[in-house]
Amino acid sequence: MKRSVALFLILTVIGIFVLADTPVKDIIITPVKPSPLKVQIWMDRSTGATYYPGDDVRIYFKTSKNAYVIIYDFATDGSVRVLFPNFFQRNNYVRGGVVYTIPNPAYNYSLTVTGPNGREFLEAVASLSPSALPNVPLAGANPFLEYKDGQQYMRKMKLELMKESIAVATTYFYVGYVPQMGTVNFTSSPMGVSLYVDGTYEGETPKTLQLPAGNHFATFVYQGRSLAKSFTVQPGQYSTVNGVISIMPVQPLSVKVNVNTYPSGALVFVDGKMLGISPCALKLAAGTYEFTIVKPDYKTIVRTVTIKNDINLNFQLNKIESYTSF
């Protein structure tokens, strides 16, 4: 008898920005270091397709070279589950050019969609070296490793993985409803930079895409530098998102900036790039920067700071009293 395993969902209902899109932006990995390795992930329906509770799901992936792979699933309860490797498919070393399937029919199990309605993200991370990826222990009753504090775990893991030469690919699907769409034109200065939308590589700018209504994030990557921008798509409307990446010679990182937040544990973005988790010490060149401080359940802080000498920056976070949901 085939064993059925529920595929948990990440809830990104339109309007719940703090609970949904901000954590997704913080934990989706966008590589900035070139890698000779490529990875792809897709499903038995097209990207952004709609599944309904009770539908079975089949996931496919492949790498361009022999590599080690981990596939993450982001869940509505804040946890993160590892779909590959798992109890049934334990070996995460794969052969280049070979298409792998989850679930593998040889192991007689299935993945079944369950509610609530929303958008679910899957992310494949691949490396030529096993030491570049975190260990995935497979002991326990659950066939899939689950991180109880998944979002916090992935924020920290993202900082570590972005230091490595890795390949990343994402895909997503909707559960229980068909989203309305809008048109977004992505431009940049300079043109021809790599564009990632919600963690998925979409090509080089300029680029026009049809995207589902709601909150999204774009990452522009050029010569090892990146810029992240959040944006909202309105149903049936046209909008433009522009990314400006400085190509001036990089100044020496000579100024020490100590960033403290109260409470601690907040993500620290400088000019759209996540550089640490508070408290943290940064090395920056003298200049003017936009600091963005993000912590779930607290109001986001955006502050422009001109830095000339070593400095301590302190941010008092205010808790959000309540959320509006649908």
In angstroms, the CA 105 to CA 152 distance is 33
The length of the chain is 326
Instruction: Supply 119's token pair.
Output: 């958008």
pLDDT band at 77 (very low <50, low <70, confident <90, very high): low
Q: Is the pLDDT of residue 33 over 60?
A: yes
What would the mean pLDDT of 240-253 be, rounded to a whole number? 77
For position 1, what pLDDT does the model report?
47
What would the mean pLDDT of 60-84 be, rounded to a whole number? 87
Dihedral in degrees, nearest 10, Cα atoms 85, 26, 233, 207? -70
Q: Is the pLDDT of residue 30 over 80?
A: no
Rounded to 5 degrees, what are φ and ψ at 121? -105, 140
Lowest mean pLDDT, pick from 168-177, 248-257, 267-276 = 248-257
Q: Is the pLDDT of residue 19 over 50?
A: no
For position 13, what pLDDT does the model report?
25
For position 249, what pLDDT does the model report?
58
Q: Are strands 214-222 and 194-197 parallel, antiparallel or unpaired?
A: antiparallel
In angstroms, the CA 58 to CA 63 distance is 17
Q: Are strands 167-175 and 50-51 parallel, antiparallel or unpaired?
A: parallel
Over its C-alpha atoms, the chain yields an Rg (Å, rounded) of 20
Please give the domain boundaries of the chain with CATH numbers for all domains.
3-175 (no CATH), 181-244 (2.60.40.10), 255-316 (2.60.40.1120)
What stretch of H or E contains 161?
helix 150-161
For position 10, what pLDDT does the model report?
30
Picking from 159, 164, 171, 134, the residue whose alpha carbon sits closest to that of residue 43 is 171
Q: What percentage of the chain has pLDDT greater than the value 70?
A: 85
pTM over 0.85: no
What would the mean pLDDT of 299-310 be, rounded to a whole number? 92
What are residue 291's DSSP bridge partners? 270, 303
